[in-house]
Amino acid sequence: MKSVDPIRSKYRFLSPLLLTPALLLAACGDSGTVTSPPAVDPIVNETSTDDIKSNASMNIGGSLDSSLDGVSRVTSGSSDGFEDPADIGVGGLWNEDAQNLVNTSLDLDNGDNTTRDGTRITIDPDDAAVCSEELVDMSATDAEFQRCQALVSDMIVQLDATSDTDGAVTYLFQSQPLAVIGYTENSNSFEINLGTLKLLIEANNDLDPEGGIESPLDTMQGALRMFAEATNTTNGSEAGTVALQVSQPLVIASADAVTSLSMGAGTILSLSADAAAESATIEVAIGALQVSDSQDNEALGLNMDGLTAIIDFENNVDQLVVRNLGVGDGPLRIALNNSEVLNLGLETFGFILSANDTTGESVITLDGQMNLRFLVRQIVGDNTVSDTLFDLLEMTAPAGTQIGDQLNGSIGILSGGPLSYSLTTQDENGNQVVDQLTVDAGQCADDIGSFNSDYEIVACQ
């Protein structure tokens, strides 16, 4: 008998409704829904319903693999050449099962469940076909198949075509958008609505009160989107972008509000790569984030106005470019039992990491003013945050400053500057020790003793 993963077993019959979101991609464009569709090419009115559905099927899925292949070839490159994406498990995420599930939901083989009004095609999926053994799980029980069909009966699929090759497919559960797939010849997208996902979980639990999906979350709002665009699909020269975004602000919380998360709209992670040019860009642009949790009478909290960073690199250029690095307009704070443990302030700036032409040592060139403030309070007995014990690090340097490693292990200001450094340490009695240093162009500094000793000006070597 086929072995069954108990966690997967609880979720397997819901996979047709979720359309394997780990394999699909997030909604194109800014709206993420079909309520405000882009301009429609008049030729769509003359295109048959079967052709529109067939084109949608053919254009869903392929861009993910091509885009990820390009990313993997660049990021895994070495002096010996690039690894094959298949060898490192990146390519091939869009598999036959996912494609069959889309095809079945689009009712490609039977038009009896399809109606059309202009450029909108509405499909009432065949419950038995969507919940078939091939698409759900060969080891699913009869009760699970019946529950799957009951849930699918509350689903409607809407296909809005904007051209022969472009459009959006919306999966509605209980008349609410659960997932939206956008597709073009070169891009795919997927957006999942957490509020409707909660409705789906609740409907499943109503059908199976004893074996339903356990979830401590009482509030689920917002939407997550994945997006992929392939600009070159040639094997070995793939180019494209893959991104994970918060397309609608997230609010997730337990019934007692002890556990909660909220996140503003933004890009969690975006990867762009061009394998032929051997270049890639990684971008983070997370919106405001608040997280809280409490376990064993300990309350943890995180508050952040935002987090941004853009990293550019090329395999044939010995440098790394970091742009737009910062934590928003306010500091990042972490608290334990309502007492601040960590406070990080970093004004947005950038830098270039390269190698010294003569020594080969690392050189950082600042692109923008660097202003760093990092406060850490110590945690004492019974996980109590001390009111007095803390370390405060502050560093500033103007744009254009070049900071380079020296052969003797010290750090030198090659040009620009000055670099101002201050470390304040306070003990339990409120006594402060301040280590301050200003390093001008042509000077070097090092901690002449142990790691925690004061920095001093030393000879450059």
For the ranges 50-64, 323-337, 433-447, the lowest mean pLDDT is seen at 50-64
Q: What is the pLDDT of residues 120-135, one digit of tens each?
A: 999 999 888 888 866 6
Residues 24-68: tens digit of each pLDDT: 333 333 333 334 446 888 888 889 999 999 999 888 875 555 556
Please say if the pLDDT value at position 91 is more than 70. Answer: no
pLDDT score recorded for residue 321: 94
* Phi, psi angle pair for 196, to nearest 5°: -75, -35
For every residue of 178-199, DSSP letters joined together read EEEEEE-SSEEEEEEEHHHHHH
Residue 22: its pLDDT value, please? 34
pLDDT of residue 454: 76
For residue range 164-214, list pLDDT tens digits in order. Answer: 889 999 999 999 999 999 998 888 888 999 999 999 989 988 888 776 666
What letter does residue 40 receive in the DSSP assignment? P
| 266 within 8 A of 244, measured Cβ to Cβ | no
Task: Look at 165-179, 223-237, 238-252 and tell me which has the smallest mean pLDDT.
Answer: 223-237
Provide the pLDDT for residue 5: 40
With beta carbons less than 8 A apart as the criterion, state whether 58 and 106 touch.
no
288 or 110: whose pLDDT is higher?
288
Q: Are 53 and 160 in contact (CB under 8 A)?
A: no
Distances (CA, A) of 90 to 8, 69, 73: 22, 7, 10
- pTM, full prediction: 0.80
Q: Are strands 362-367 and 419-426 parallel, antiparallel or unpaired?
A: unpaired
Q: What pLDDT does residue 419 have?
A: 95
pLDDT reported for residue 275: 82
Q: What is the pLDDT of residue 79?
A: 35
The whole-number pLDDT of residue 97 equals 75
Read off the pLDDT of residues 445-458 as tens digits, 9 standing for 90 and up.
988 655 455 789 99
122 sits in which H/E element: strand 120-123
CA distances from 409 to 361, 362, 458 (A): 10, 11, 11
For residue 3, the model assigns a pLDDT of 38
Task: Decide if 312 contacts 110 (C-beta within 8 A).
Answer: no
Residue 12 — very low, low, confident or very high, per pLDDT cuts 50/70/90?
very low
- List the one residue out of 123, 98, 103 whose CA is nearest residue 56: 103
Q: Give the mean pLDDT of 380-409.
A: 90
Task: State the DSSP string of 88-117.
Answer: GT-S--S-HHHHHHHHHHTTTT-GGGEEEE
User: What's the whole-number mean pLDDT along residues 231-244?
Assistant: 83
pLDDT number for residue 70: 58
Residue of higher predicted confidence among 72 and 276? 276
pLDDT, residue 9, reads 40
* Amino acid 399: pLDDT: 97
Whole-number percent of the chain with pLDDT over 70 = 80
Residue 337 has pLDDT above 60, yes or no: yes
Average pLDDT, the chain: 82
pLDDT for 35 equals: 43
- At 432, the pLDDT band (50, 70, 90 cuts) reads very high
239 or 267: whose pLDDT is higher?
A: 267
Query: First and final CA of the chain: distance in angstroms?
Result: 70
Contact predicate 293/300, CB 8 Å:
yes
94-105 pLDDT, tens digit per residue, is: 667 778 888 889
Q: Locate 399 and state its tokens.
A: 């744009």
The percent of residues in the chain predicted with pLDDT above 90, rounded, is 45
Domain spans in the chain, listed from the N-terminal domain onward: 6-346
In this structure, of 23-37, 295-309, 407-421, 430-444, the range with the lowest mean pLDDT score is 23-37
Q: What angle do CA 310, 315, 317 make, to 5 degrees?
A: 85
